[in-house]
Structures are given as structure tokens and as C-alpha cells.
Amino acid sequence: MAADTAQTIDHPALQRPKVTEREPLHPGYLRLGEEVPPASELDMETLDLVDPEVWRQGKYWDRFARLRKEDPIHFTPDSFVGPYWSVTRYEDIMAVDTDHKRFSSSWEYGGITLGSPPPDFELPMFIAMDEPRHSEQRKTVSPAVAPNMLKEFEPLIRERTAKVLDSLPIGEPFDWVDRVSIELTGLMLATLFDFPQERRRELTRWSDIVTNMNNPDICPGGEEQWKQELLSCLTVFMGIFQERQAIPLKNDLISLLAHGEKTKNMTPMELLGNVILLIVGGNDTTRNSMTASVYALNSFPDEYKKLKADPSLIPNMVSETIRWQTPLAHMRRTAVEDVELGGKLIKKGDQVAMWYVSGNRDEAFWERPNDYIIDRPNARRHLSFGFGIHRCVGNRLGELQLQILWEELMKRFEHIEVLDEPSRTSGGFVKGYTWMPVILHGK
């Protein structure tokens, strides 16, 4: 069921969000609502995975399956983001991800997303740095999400989750994305930054803006508006950064950066880069996994029955959700020397996309990879958090939030029913949902 042809529910709060008409970003890309051709009809020479409309309609799986089978290290010579390589098999992705000496994530080469940032607007951040600077900055913020802090956060997360869930209507439709996923991740993100809770939706907004410069529903003013909003984010956080420098060290992310030996003298753009990284890392990923868990259990009703029979499966279900969903579809690296991979020569300076979304469905690694299996034995070996030095610093916190959400849901509700196909994000980086109508059935 394509997002546009799905039935609409006659409830004023639940009209599917309108999607603005837009010009395709590149010659040959699809228009809004245009039918996505099957992968079998595409020319392998020019196959390009970054057309936003393919992502908005969720029609990329057959493309990845064909690449894994026929051309697992694939070169796209021309696209909106320039020429790039696609690495689509689990083992190859792992090889690139753990080889930070030859595959750089440094912002100086273009960072972690395909394409080039606007000139004069580079955003250095620790995920987009090589050693030793990467580890110096990463070590500075990691105490905020260390195991002792997770113990401290747990009662707070549980209390808030309970409050949000208790505020939801039973037996009446509402948008799960807005009322639960965005709300819970916004509350947590504001806590991590020690940011005013009443302004937490500003964090969600910046998270949406940073990855949607070319999406007229989020950033109708294009690059100019994108720069303005990110600079206003910088102004806000520069103020907080200076305030925290003037007071004793606390455990929030901005205090840690403000007092850190290697971060206290960051340039403004470096501060903005790290703030944006922590916002997107702490928000988009957890938020989209929260929605995915409900969607997946509705798509695989036998798994929902299994969960109801045995709620002790929740921790493993969380890992399986993160594998099945893959909230960040790819990470980019840049080859800093010529590298041979899978019989192909990747040249120095080439962009390389590690398609986590494809590796997490690789038939050679996973049994029945497209199925959602909440007691899958090796679910934790998913690629969604990355591997090597850049493995997601907040991964345990994300898992904890999802685990608590489901523990609290199972206490309260007999069933969460998804009423319609969700609306999806358009773009091949953040892979998620913008709207999903549900009804809660009480116990």
C-alpha cells in the first residue's frame, strides 16, 4: 500500500500530512507520487540509491537485494550527491567500518553523509573526525551516557514514560509519532543537554532541519533557511556553553564539552557540529525505533502474540527492532588512499556509502532477514550502531528508552493497533516515520 493511496481515516486529528509538490533533485529522479520501477528494470551501470521519492515510498528493498546479489561493491557515476560507491553486504560494511585508517569520516573530506556541505558551512563534529581528535572529543561527552548515568536515568525515564502513556486516549485514534516517539525522545534529549523542557520541541525541530535542507515540507526556504535555523541553534547553544563554562562541571553534555580539556576552546562551528550530532544521534534514531517497534509488531502479529505471552523477550525485541528498522540508512566514508574491495578499486578521494539498511537484511548473514523475529538469537549483531571507533556512543541509552517504553506499554494496554500505513521520511540518511495513526486497546 503506497503512502498516498492508503485509505484515510475519518477523524480530524488523523489526516495524513500533505506532502508538497517538489522538483526532482536530479535528472531522472522520480516526481512526487510517481510509480517506483522495480529494481529488475534498472540499468545497473547507473543505479542510484539516493532518490528521495524511493525512500518516501519505502521501495528500496529490491534495489539493495539486487546489489547484494549482482554487484555488492557498486559504483554510481552520477547522482545528486556526486559519484559514490555503495557497499551493501554485511561483511564488506564491517570491513569498511572497522578500517578507519583507510576510510576516513573526517569533515575535512566531506564527513559522514553523501554529498558536500554548502561552501563556508562545514560542521566539524567528533563522529566526522579521525584519530586522535575523534577519541579526545568522544571521551569528553561519553560520561553523560556512561553505565552509572544510565542507572540514574532509569527511574526518570520510567516516570516520564508512564506520564506520557497515561495521557494518551484509549479507544480513540491519535498520531503515535507525535504523541509518543517525538515526545519521549524530546524529554530525554532536553535532559541530556540540561535544556529547558518547555522548549524541547526546538531540539526536535533542529534535528528535522539538519537532514532536510531539500525537503519543502520541513525547509521550504532551502539552503538559506537551513543556514539561518542552524545559526539560531548555534546562538542558543553558544549561550548555554558560555553559561556552563562559568559554573562548576555538571554531567550534562554541554557542561562536559564546556569543561573538557580538548573541547572547551572549540570554534563556534565545531560546537554547532557536535550539538547537531548529539541531537540527531539522541533523537532521530530512538524516535524512529519507537515507531518501528509498534509498526513491526502489527506487521508480524504472531510476534506480538509471542511478546504478550513472554514480556521477558523485550530486551531482545529492542535489538531486533533496531536491526529491522535501521534508523540511519547509511554512513559515508571517504577513501584516503586507493583501496581494493571485493575486486573493485576504490580510488583515493572517492565517497563510500556503507548501507547499514542493506547489511541488516543480508541473506548471507541473517536467516529470514526480512522477517521481524523478536527472539532472533543474533539480533544484537545488527549494524545500526556502527562498528569500530565510531560505534554509537549513546547506544545503551537508546536501548534503555525502548525497553522501558515496552515494559510500561505491556502493563497498560492489551494491544496497540496501527490503523494505516505510516508516512515515511524522504531521504536516504535518516530512515523513519513522520506519522502513524494508532488506537490503544486497554487491558
Measure the CA dihedral 95/100/102/108, to 10°: 140
Whole-prediction pTM: 0.94
Over residues 86-132, the pLDDT tens digits come to: 999 999 999 999 999 999 998 888 889 999 888 888 777 667 678 88
Rounded to whole angstroms, the Cα distance separating 274 from 237 reads 11
| C-beta separation of 185 from 283 below 8 A | yes
* Averaged pLDDT for residues 138-162: 90
Cβ(103)–Cβ(94) below 8 Å: no
- φ, ψ dihedrals at 354, nearest 5°: -90, 105
The whole-number pLDDT of residue 10 equals: 65
Query: pLDDT at position 126, please?
Result: 67
Which architecture characterizes domain 39-442 according to CATH?
Orthogonal Bundle (1.10)
For 248-268, the pLDDT digits (tens) are 999 899 999 999 998 999 999
- Work out the pLDDT band at 1, boundaries 50, 70, 90: very low
Q: What integer pLDDT is reported at residue 128 of this predicted model?
A: 66
Quote the pLDDT of residue 2.
Answer: 40
Is a pLDDT exceeding 70 seen at residue 275? yes
Confidence of residue 392 (pLDDT cuts 50, 70, 90): confident
Confidence of residue 299 (pLDDT cuts 50, 70, 90): very high
Looking at residue 119, its pLDDT comes to 80
Q: Can you give the pLDDT at residue 130?
A: 80
Distance (Å, rounded) from C-alpha 295 to C-alpha 436? Answer: 8
**Is pLDDT at 7 greater than 60 in this prediction?**
no
For residue 127, give the amino acid letter.
Answer: I
Please tell me the distance from the alpha carbon of residue 401 to that of residue 185, in angstroms, as a whole number: 8
Q: How far is CA 93 from CA 45, 193, 234, 321, in A?
A: 21, 32, 34, 20
Which pLDDT does position 117 carry in this prediction?
Answer: 82
Q: Amino acid identity, residue 362? A: D
User: For 165-175, how does the pLDDT look when each residue is reduced to its tens digit (9 = 90+)?
Assistant: 999 999 999 99
- Provide, rounded to the nearest whole percent, the portion of the chain with pLDDT above 70: 97
pLDDT digits (tens, 9 = 90+) for 192-222: 999 999 999 999 999 999 999 999 999 999 9
Per-residue pLDDT reduced to its tens digit, 354-376: 999 999 999 999 999 999 999 99
Query: What are the helix (H) ranges across 142-267?
Result: 147-166, 176, 183-193, 200-210, 222-245, 253-259
Identify residue 293 by its one-letter amino acid code.
S
- Please report the pLDDT score of residue 55 as a whole number: 97
pLDDT at 134: 82
Mean pLDDT of the chain: 93
> Is the model's pLDDT at 8 over the cut of 90?
no
User: Can you list the positions of beta strands (E) in 267-348?
Assistant: 331-335, 339-341, 344-346
Mean pLDDT of 44-64: 97
CB 97 within 8 A of CB 87: no
Most confident by average pLDDT, 133-142, 352-361, 381-390? 352-361
- Residue 14: the pLDDT is 80
Over residues 393-403, the pLDDT tens digits come to 889 999 999 99
- Asked whether residue 13 carries a pLDDT value surpassing 70, the answer given is no
Q: What does the pLDDT read at residue 6? A: 41
pLDDT at site 297? 98
Q: Give the model's pLDDT for residue 252.
A: 92
> Between the CA of residue 391 and those of 142, 288, 328, 395, 396, what are the distances in Å?
12, 19, 13, 8, 11
